[in-house]
Amino acid sequence: NLDAAALDAVASSYGFQGQKCSACSRLIVVDEVYDTVLARVVAHVEELPVGDPRDNHALGPVISAAQYKTILHEIDLGRSEADLVAGGAGIELDGGYYIAPTVFADVDPQTRLAQHEIFGPVLSVIRARDFDHALEIANGTEFGLTGGLHSSDPDRIERAKREFHVGNLYINRKITGALVGIQPFGGFNMSGSNAKAGGPDYLRLFMEMKTVAQRL
């Protein structure tokens, strides 16, 4: 369902202005539907209202002046690496540091834009030749917290469960919004030790683990 995929990507990317560890910063799309999905994502992004979240705007301000400058700097760097197709600038509004929801298209998966955590309302859309290539790109990062797959193909879903190396994998839904105490949450590689907050392994963080060796 390409409409659902586009909507879930937008929700995952721009909730809390992308300032979540689980936010979607890369959208990897197979070539056969790339142009369609990109167009739908951009259309949804351009409809997102920006303003005071207390007035039900979808995007509020970023956390600080320093982060505002950092995000805009990353966007400026991204202009030399990919095609800017939406957003890309600050928005002058009273009471906060606002940035237009930003989309880069045809992003090379090895560029800074695709490999660096920005923690802002910035989405990189990456073209994959096929599903194998998409998995290769998805795993080609030092991070491993959350990921998602939209597919109606049960074989691809099972492959993602086995081969998509993230701590939390979401199928046919957005990749944010883990339920505390119900869905154990945590990643590995540079995203952590995969000690799941909300899971039984998390209890070990409150214990002193000890190995004892005794000659008998």
What are the sequence ranges of the domains in the chain?
2-181
State mean pLDDT over 78-97. Answer: 93
Which pLDDT score is estimated for 159?
94
User: pLDDT confidence of 190, banded at 50, 70, 90?
Assistant: low
pTM across the whole model = 0.88
Whether the per-residue pLDDT at 82 is higher than 90: the answer is: yes
State mean pLDDT over 71-100. Answer: 94
The CA–CA distances, whole Å, from 146 to 13, 115, 175, 186 equal 12, 14, 7, 8
Separation of alpha carbons 82 and 125, rounded Å? 9
Residues 155, 127 contacting (CB under 8 angstroms): no
- Residue 8: phi, psi to the nearest 5? -65, -35
Residues 184, 197 contacting (CB under 8 angstroms): yes
Looking at every residue in the chain, the average pLDDT score rounds to 91
State mean pLDDT over 125-144. Answer: 94
Worst-scoring range by mean pLDDT, 10-19, 88-97, 174-183?
Answer: 174-183
Whether the per-residue pLDDT at 187 is higher than 70: the answer is: no
User: pLDDT confidence of 18, banded at 50, 70, 90?
Assistant: very high
Separation of alpha carbons 35 and 57, rounded Å? 28
User: pLDDT confidence of 189, banded at 50, 70, 90?
Assistant: confident
Architecture of the domain whose range is 2-181: 3-Layer(aba) Sandwich (3.40)
